[in-house]
Structure 1
Amino acid sequence: MGEERRTILITGASAGIGAALARECAARGYDLILTARREGPLQALADELQARYGAAAAVLLADLADPEAPVRLVADIAARGLTVDGLINNAGFSRTTGFLSTDPAAHSAMIRVMLTAPVELSRLLLPGMVERGWGRVLNVASLAGQMPATGGDTLYGPIKSFLIKASQGLWLEMRGTGVHVTALCPGYTYTEFHDVNGSREQVSAAYPRWMWMDADRVARIGWDAVEANRPRVTPGVMNNVLAALGGLLPDALALKMVGGHAKRLDRL
């Protein structure tokens, strides 16, 4: 008998970096549990992973804005007889339109999806990983978490900063257990959405090409980092330069550096 395959749970797996990470993990011999809100794209991805890589991929629908979703998701996984050996907290939330002009319910959902759910899923699943002596947790944060917050997307950067710090704390706690924890901090990343909706040329015009990376490359760098047990990884040389500048510059200069962010994106 061959070695038993390990299984990775990916939230927000239907598209973008989540789908790219699913392909990366499947190519490396992992089975997958894919979750998001939309069944069609998840099932299409599951079929692709089976056909291309021979990976088993279970599809479970979940809306992580629902406070009960993490507990229910873990229960559904157990009911299928599946074991979660690794967790990729990737689920995101559509960009808000300014703090005062965004419905407070949307802010609450954003915090649930991007902050609370990763914490709860980690707390639910890490004990099993520690008990088995092997685990991988990859939290998809952002370059924005290493920069001053931007107007118009006021909560996004602070949420991602929390995720980075929480990942570093977990990395310290998990030392010696066989569980690796990494915060992945991508900058601007091209996904298939830019091709499908015809906006690739527009987003390229909003920011220079050197600021953008492809989702497949980001996924490869992220999974290499968690396998190597690096507490944080920021893909791309220039993204690392920007992160360093964001931490070293005085507030006035740093805020000026990011001040035009929301206005440029609003023109897309």
Structure 2
Amino acid sequence: MPSPADGYALITGASSGIGAEIAREYARRGVPLILTARREDRLQALADELRAQVPVEIIRADLAEPDAPAQLCNAISERGLAVRILVNNAGYGVIGRYTSQPWDAHAAFLQVMIHAVSELTWRLLPSLRAFPNGRILNVASFAGLAPGSNGQTLYAAAKAYLIKFSESLAQENADRGLKVCALCPGFTYSEFHDVTGTREMMSHLPRSLWLQADHVARAGVDAVEGNRVVVVPGWRYKLLHGVARHLSDHARLGLMRRNSSKIRRA
């Protein structure tokens, strides 16, 4: 059994999907875990599964609450735990055009996707830097590399923020041995589209565009360990990203405008 003195991996949004698979990936690699999410029953089930491999702590937190990042860090400190790896994974989407949702829905989204990520990272940086092999893995999205689409207005913008945030953190902390990576998957089998109510719409997309959550998790962990600052899992998405970079902004926006209705509910 690995020693908790080697530091824990804190994974937000660990109750399902990519977050749960990242937890499983780190457990396979012998890294002790702190799992956090809103659904404590899901966290407990995952902890029970992984405790045969590594020490696991669970702390329920709803990152949509402004005080949650500070309370989470206080709970970690009170338990005498040290975080070596931070995985900012918690996230979701708000469907529809910008004014079709109340501002409170957008404010909660921004709290989870931007404010909580930024504050958790700021609060935990001293702990991460204290280890010679500290890591930050920010789960962004291919959407952050593509043009913004019609519907889910803030989603691509928030994911683009994560990518730029990761790039800056990687540069600022390179001399500390702290490695930072933005993981940018495309469509991935998870509960994400059930939560946003777009499962039926998304089911019409070609199966070749869908990624498996465990493959995405492994790609992200491998990338941050390999000191890659931005990683796009899946050869199809790598190809799409490569081709898109050679198109004009006008052409890329035109393609997104013509195809938004296939992937977004306006």
Q: Same fold (TM over 0.5)?
A: yes
Alpha carbons 2:16, 2:191 under 8 Å: kept: yes
One-letter amino acid of the counterpart of residue 18, structure 1: G
Alignment correspondent of 1:122: 121
Tell me the CA shift for residue 131 of structure 1. Answer: 2.7
TM-score by length of 2: 0.91
- State the Cα distance separating 1:34 from its structure 2 match: 0.6
Match of 1:223 in 2: 221
Distance 2:211 2:147 in 1: 21
- Asked if the contact 1:147–1:247 (Cα under 8 Å) also holds between the matched residues in 2, the reply is no
In the alignment, structure 1 residue 14 sits paired with structure 2 residue 15: yes
- 8 Å CA contact retained: 2:94, 2:109: no
What amino acid sits opposite 1:259 in the alignment?
R
Determine the structure 2 residue equivalent to 1:210. Answer: 208
Q: What percentage of residue pairs aligned between the two structures are identical? A: 48
Comparing 93-102 with 73-82, greater Cα deviation is found at: 93-102
Deviation at 1:153, TM superposition (A): 1.1
Aligned to 1:24: 25
Distance in 2, Cα, partners of 1:125 & 1:56? 20
Letter in 1 for 2:66: P
Distance in 1 (alpha carbons) for counterparts of 2:85 and 2:55 = 15
Equivalence for 1:50:
51
1:139 aligned partner:
138
SS in 1 for 2:46: helix
Task: Answer yes or no: is the 8 Å Cα contact 2:96–2:153 preserved in 1.
Answer: no
Moved more, 257-266 or 96-105: 257-266
Partner residue of 2:87? 88
- Name the aligned partner's letter for residue 182 of structure 2: A
Match of 2:176 in 1: 177
1:218 positional shift? 0.3
- The code of the aligned residue for 1:99 comes to Y
For 2:191 and 2:102, the matched residues in 1 are separated by 28
The answer to whether structure 1 residue 235 and structure 2 residue 233 are counterparts is: yes
Partner secondary structure for residue 213 of structure 1 = coil
Deviation readout 1:93-134 (Å, 9 max, x if unpaired): 233222010111111111110111111111111112213333
User: Residue 228 of structure 2 aligns to a residue in which SS?
Assistant: coil
Distance in 2 between residues matched to 1:69 and 1:261, nearest whole Å: 37
What SS is found at the alignment partner of 2:136? strand
Assess if the C-alpha contact under 8 Å between 1:146 and 1:247 holds in 2: no
Code of the residue aligned with 2:129 in structure 1: it is V
Amino acid at match of 2:28: A
- SS of corresponding position for 2:137: strand
Aligned-pair CA distance for 1:240 = 1.5
Query: Aligned-residue CA RMSD in angstroms?
Result: 2.1
User: Under a length normalisation based on structure 1, what TM-score does the superposition of the two structures give?
Assistant: 0.90
**CA spacing shift, 1:95–1:261, aligned 2, 3 Å:** farther
SS state of the match for residue 138, structure 2? Answer: strand
Partners of 1:85 and 1:135 within 8 A in 2: yes
Sort the Cα spacing of 1:215 and 1:2 in 2 relative to 1 into closer, same or farther, 3 A.
closer
What secondary structure, in the 3-state scheme, does the structure 2 residue paired with 1:10 have?
Answer: strand
Give me the whole-angstrom Cα distance separating, in 1, the residues matched to 2:215 and 2:164. 24
SS in 2 for 1:170: helix
How far off is 1:194 after superposition? 7.7
Q: Output one character per residue of 1:143-201: Cα deviation in whole Å (capped at 9) or x when no partner.
A: 00001001111111111111101100111111121211000000000126789xxx988
Residue 259 of structure 1 is matched in structure 2 by 257
Structure 2: any 5+ residue segments left out of the alignment?
Answer: none
SS of residue paired to 1:133: coil
SS in 1 for 2:182: strand
Count of residue correspondences: 261
Q: Distance in 2 between matches of 1:202 and 1:97?
A: 13
